[in-house]
Amino acid sequence: MPPVVPSPFEPRVQRLREDVRAAGLDALLVTHPPNVRYLTGFVGTAGVLVLTPMRCLLIADFRYAAAARELLTARPAGSLELEVPDRGYDEAIVSALRSSAASRAGVEAAWLSVSRFNWLTSSLAANRSMRESSRTRGVSLIPTERLVEARRAVKDAPEIASLREAARRLSVVARELRSFVRPGRSERTIAADIDGAIRAAGFERPAFETIVASGPNGARPHARPGGRLVADGDGVVLDFGGVYDGYCVDLTRTLHVGVPAPALVRLTAAVREAHAAAMAAVRPGARPSEIDAAARDVLTRHGLGDAFGHGTGHGLGLEVHEDPRIAKLPAALPDTPVVPGMVFTIEPGAYVEGVGGARIEDDVLVVEGGCDVLTDVPIEI
Amino acid sequence: MPPVVPSPFEPRVQRLREDVRAAGLDALLVTHPPNVRYLTGFVGTAGVLVLTPMRCLLIADFRYAAAARELLTARPAGSLELEVPDRGYDEAIVSALRSSAASRAGVEAAWLSVSRFNWLTSSLAANRSMRESSRTRGVSLIPTERLVEARRAVKDAPEIASLREAARRLSVVARELRSFVRPGRSERTIAADIDGAIRAAGFERPAFETIVASGPNGARPHARPGGRLVADGDGVVLDFGGVYDGYCVDLTRTLHVGVPAPALVRLTAAVREAHAAAMAAVRPGARPSEIDAAARDVLTRHGLGDAFGHGTGHGLGLEVHEDPRIAKLPAALPDTPVVPGMVFTIEPGAYVEGVGGARIEDDVLVVEGGCDVLTDVPIEI
């Protein structure tokens, strides 16, 4: 029998069970695929985890059954069970919840549709009334918010190792940018070159659709690469990411081709200053709003406050946008200080119609006393 | 002033308004991005359409504002309005619904989370109670299912033109497969070649993660390409797709390298026969279950009924999986006959551990009297 390698999944499940109990629940239905992956290692676009005090049951369909069975062999006996349902996922969920001792099962409200919630609720109710005379208690579904996400925001050691290696590889891609960005080449061609370099660097795939926004298109923070040819005097915003070992990293540089107009040079310099200010503000105990303000205040001082219409950063992990949000948060959301183990982007930008745009983005890990910059690329390439 | 080109969006919105009225509703909140795109042309991962009897209001955030404004210039005055909210999307939805004459607003229950539904419902209720003395009536949110999807399942002329061109281009990629699949090359390398060919053929991007499943991996219908090197005697299942002008096409061929084991040759021959039988069954009035049975009966006759664990096909359009589902549907779902204008895949397969797998997939358009095969690739490459 092969030795069982210690896996990160048992401690993750254990911590979540504590959170579930603390929320006054006795089960949790995990439907968001990255959350399922975090807790089990299961990779698939579908797959549901039913976590009860006694069981950690992965429900996965036919398509993923062989891959899911392999997961189980690497895990301590009984720590993860697999069910491949004959009928649908939701029938299997109802059956698992009913056969558990659960009476209050949390659902991931942000990751469960109204359709599915209503079907599950009415199925659990219908079953209950059909069996009123049995000993089985009914199961109520209780909306929960971000239970798994809150744990995922603080990375454990294997996650930090994956993110560090991913950022190292993405930095290799970034250092090649100058060879892709030349006058006469189209945004689309440059994007294809970047995507090729991402794959050549060992990534599973780009983490999102690569952004190459040249000249006037730079004024659009999420421009899609088009047929426009890079011209002398352009600023070119290049924003790209990769998925490595399941983990996402994300990097932006703004290149100038030839000598751009003075207004764009000034705008770019202001963004650099904002980037440096935000990086310097990252340390344990800093609030996301404070890190965001560090960048925003610089841009405001340069008259570019309105030109910075997005947040300063976002968490990275199994998703390319996850907790924490580094932004001036709406009053309803908690502005919880960052802690060691969090990994997020710092990416201030400025976008002005008629001038163009600039954005600079690096990925940081919060460590005692400050931050560890995982990406390693000169600001100017 | 530039001439206004007739757009497909006004007739689509008009038909949907009729459906909304027929469902006893006076507004619809469209939250599924492909549905928003279908009705407005808006391309973005976020964006919400509020359709009332008088207004067609697109809510899009800062990131997409410039692109959304361009859409408006190409549309008849008043047919589409844009709002870029100061605060969040949901605040803007509440405001738009409250200022409309709507009292029963449909929501897309499959595409709205429990979190968001609960927030919107309580915000609309809170506003109502705060203004009890005003003339404004309250707005109830009513779950609806597949209103826009049902219309999307039958393609209009511009959609058919896009899908036809996309399938033509994907067929060009498919005819190159033999040059990619050679002994000693890894699945991952072959997948990268296919993805490169997809981009070179003019697609925006692959429609999904390309599948290259060689030898034993062929027994997994959704295997992810890995480091395995193609070897003599392998069957290799290659399943890939592209997005062209927003529309998705999807194609699979199974190549043999050298001479595979007799069991795999027999399995592949059975899949071919099943594919031909299903293609022959496509015509207006055929039920999805009948088309599926045409393929399934052939495989069952060859002792491979249990080896065919997925449906025979799926609709193609702005999504790579959409209506109609060509499968033996659960009793709860309507087995509605297909009609001219529907575009879907025909992709029977068989997967046997220890033998391998095969799948053959083409894309068809239902036309009077039968089907028009949009893909154009020999079964054997």
- Judged by CB atoms closer than 8 Å, whether chains meet at A113 and B112 is answered as yes
**Longest Cα pair distance anywhere in chain A, in angstroms?**
81
Say whether residue A70 is in contact with chain B using an 8 A CB cutoff. no
Tell me the β-bridge partners of A325.
Answer: A314
Q: Per-residue pLDDT for B5 more than 70?
A: no
Quick one: A2 exposed, middle or buried, by C-beta within 10 A (0-12, 13-18, 19+)?
Answer: exposed
Alpha carbon of B117: minimum distance to chain A alpha carbons (Å): 7
Q: Per-residue pLDDT for B367 more than 90?
A: yes
Q: Which residues of chain A from 307 to 366 reach within 8 Å of chain B, CB to CB? A: 309-310, 330, 353
Contact A217, A351 (CB under 8 A): no
Which of B115, B145, B353 has the CB atom closest to A109's CB atom?
Answer: B115
C-alpha distances (whole Å) from A39 to each of A9, A49, A51, A143, B68 are: 5, 9, 10, 19, 39
pTM: 0.84
Q: What does the alpha-carbon distance between residue A281 and residue A284 come to, in Å, rounded to a whole number?
A: 10
Among A31, A35, A112, A115, most B C-beta atoms within 10 A, so best to mutate, is A115
Residue of B nearest to A112 (CA): B113
> Cα A325 from chain centroid?
10
Alpha carbon of B171: minimum distance to chain A alpha carbons (Å): 21
Nearest to B373 by CA among B294, B245, B292, B279: B279
Q: Quickly tell me which residue has 């549905």 as its tokens.
A: B35
Q: Per-residue pLDDT for B133 more than 70?
A: no
Among B114, B119, B149, B239, most A C-beta atoms within 10 A, so best to mutate, is B114
What is the pLDDT, as a whole number, of residue B77?
Answer: 84
Contact B340, B284 (CB under 8 A): yes
What is the pLDDT, as a whole number, of residue A133?
Answer: 44
What is the number of residues in chain A?
Answer: 381
Q: Per-residue pLDDT for B135 more than 50?
A: no
Q: Per-residue pLDDT for B131 more than 70?
A: no
Residues 6+ apart with CB under 8 A from A301: none
Which of B44, B112, B222 has the CB atom closest to A114's CB atom?
Answer: B112
Say whether residue A17 is in contact with chain B using an 8 A CB cutoff. no
Q: What does the alpha-carbon distance between residue B350 and residue B263 come to, in Å, rounded to a whole number?
A: 12
- Judged by CB atoms closer than 8 Å, whether chains meet at B114 and A114 is answered as yes
Residue of A nearest to B226 (CA): A204
Helix (H, G, I), strand (E, B) or coil at A284: coil
What tokens were used for A186? 């189209």
What is the pLDDT, as a whole number, of residue B130?
Answer: 52
Which of A115, A192, A220 has the CB atom closest to B66's CB atom?
Answer: A220
What tokens were used for B182? 């050679």
- Judged by CB atoms closer than 8 Å, whether chains meet at B43 and A330 is answered as no
> What residues of chain B lie within 8 A of the CB of A310, using their CB?
62-63
- Judged by CB atoms closer than 8 Å, whether chains meet at A192 and B199 is answered as yes
Strand residues in chain B grouped as ranges (E): 27-30, 48-51, 56-59, 81-83, 104-108, 140-144, 205-206, 211-214, 235-244, 247-256, 313-315, 322-326, 343-346, 349-352, 356-359, 362-367, 370-373
What tokens were used for B13? 């919105």
Nearest to A142 by CA among A32, A26, A244, A18: A26
Q: Quickly tell me which residue has 């551990």 as its tokens.
A: B353
Q: What does the alpha-carbon distance between residue A310 and residue A377 come to, in Å, rounded to a whole number?
A: 23
- Judged by CB atoms closer than 8 Å, whether chains meet at B143 and A330 is answered as no
Q: What does the alpha-carbon distance between residue A66 and residue A80 come to, in Å, rounded to a whole number?
A: 15
Say whether residue A66 is in contact with chain B using an 8 A CB cutoff. yes
> What residues of chain A lie within 8 A of the CB of B116, using their CB?
110
Q: Quickly tell me which residue has 């589409």 as its tokens.
A: B80
Say whether residue A129 is in contact with chain B using an 8 A CB cutoff. no
Say whether residue B24 is in contact with chain A using an 8 A CB cutoff. no
Q: What does the alpha-carbon distance between residue B85 and residue A140 come to, in Å, rounded to a whole number?
A: 36
- Judged by CB atoms closer than 8 Å, whether chains meet at A113 and B115 is answered as no
**How large is the average pLDDT for residues B43-65?**
91
Q: Per-residue pLDDT for B237 more than 90?
A: yes
Alpha carbon distance, N-terminus to C-terminus of chain B = 52
Q: What does the alpha-carbon distance between residue A228 and residue A58 come to, in Å, rounded to a whole number?
A: 47
Q: Per-residue pLDDT for B3 more than 70?
A: no
Host H or E run for residue B195: helix B187-200
Host H or E run for residue A277: helix A262-281
Nearest to A365 by CA among A320, A315, A312, A321: A315
Task: Point out the residues of chain A with pLDDT beneath 70.
Answer: 1-6, 126-137
What tokens were used for B339? 């009609």
- Judged by CB atoms closer than 8 Å, whether chains meet at A118 and B44 is answered as no
Q: What does the alpha-carbon distance between residue A80 and residue A40 come to, in Å, rounded to a whole number?
A: 8
> What residues of chain B lie within 8 A of the CB of A37, using their CB?
none
- Judged by CB atoms closer than 8 Å, whether chains meet at B114 and A113 is answered as yes
Q: Per-residue pLDDT for B129 more than 70?
A: no
Contact B61, B46 (CB under 8 A): yes
Tell me the β-bridge partners of B238.
Answer: B212, B253
Q: Where are the domains of chain A?
A: 9-152, 157-373
Instruction: Report which of residues B66 and B266 the model is more confident about.
Output: B266
Q: Per-residue pLDDT for B161 more than 50?
A: yes
Alpha carbon of A61: minimum distance to chain B alpha carbons (Å): 10
Q: What does the alpha-carbon distance between residue B198 and residue B195 come to, in Å, rounded to a whole number?
A: 5
Contact B237, B252 (CB under 8 A): yes
Contact A294, A277 (CB under 8 A): yes
What tokens were used for B189? 């390398």
Say whether residue B46 is in contact with chain A using an 8 A CB cutoff. no
Residues 6+ apart with CB under 8 A from B74: B4, B5, B7, B41
Contact A139, A102 (CB under 8 A): yes
- Judged by CB atoms closer than 8 Å, whether chains meet at B66 and A353 is answered as yes
Q: What is the pLDDT of residues B254-284, one digit of tens each?
A: 999 999 999 999 999 999 999 999 999 999 9
* Residue A34: cis peptide before it, omega within 30 degrees of 0: no
* Residue A324: cis peptide before it, omega within 30 degrees of 0: yes
Pairing of strands B235-244, A313-315: unpaired
- Judged by CB atoms closer than 8 Å, whether chains meet at B62 and A221 is answered as yes
Say whether residue B69 is in contact with chain A using an 8 A CB cutoff. no
What is the pLDDT, as a whole number, of residue A316?
Answer: 98
What is the pLDDT, as a whole number, of residue A263?
Answer: 97
Alpha carbon of A253: minimum distance to chain B alpha carbons (Å): 18
Helix (H, G, I), strand (E, B) or coil at B3: coil
Among A112, A113, A189, A220, most B C-beta atoms within 10 A, so best to mutate, is A113
Could you please report the per-residue DSSP string of A317-362?
A: SSSSSEEEEES---TTS--PPP-TT-EEEE--EEEETTTEEEE-BE
What CATH homologous superfamily does B9-152 map to?
Creatinase/prolidase N-terminal domain (3.40.350.10)
Alpha carbon of B204: minimum distance to chain A alpha carbons (Å): 9
Q: Per-residue pLDDT for B331 more than 70?
A: yes
**Longest Cα pair distance anywhere in chain B, in angstroms?**
82
Q: Note the CATH number of domain B157-373.
A: 3.90.230.10
- Judged by CB atoms closer than 8 Å, whether chains meet at B309 and A199 is answered as no
Q: What does the alpha-carbon distance between residue A346 and residue A274 come to, in Å, rounded to a whole number?
A: 10
**How large is the average pLDDT for residues B148-158?**
97
Say whether residue A135 is in contact with chain B using an 8 A CB cutoff. no
Residue of B nearest to A144 (CA): B115
Residues 6+ apart with CB under 8 A from B194: B173, B177, B180, B206, B210, B212, B238, B240
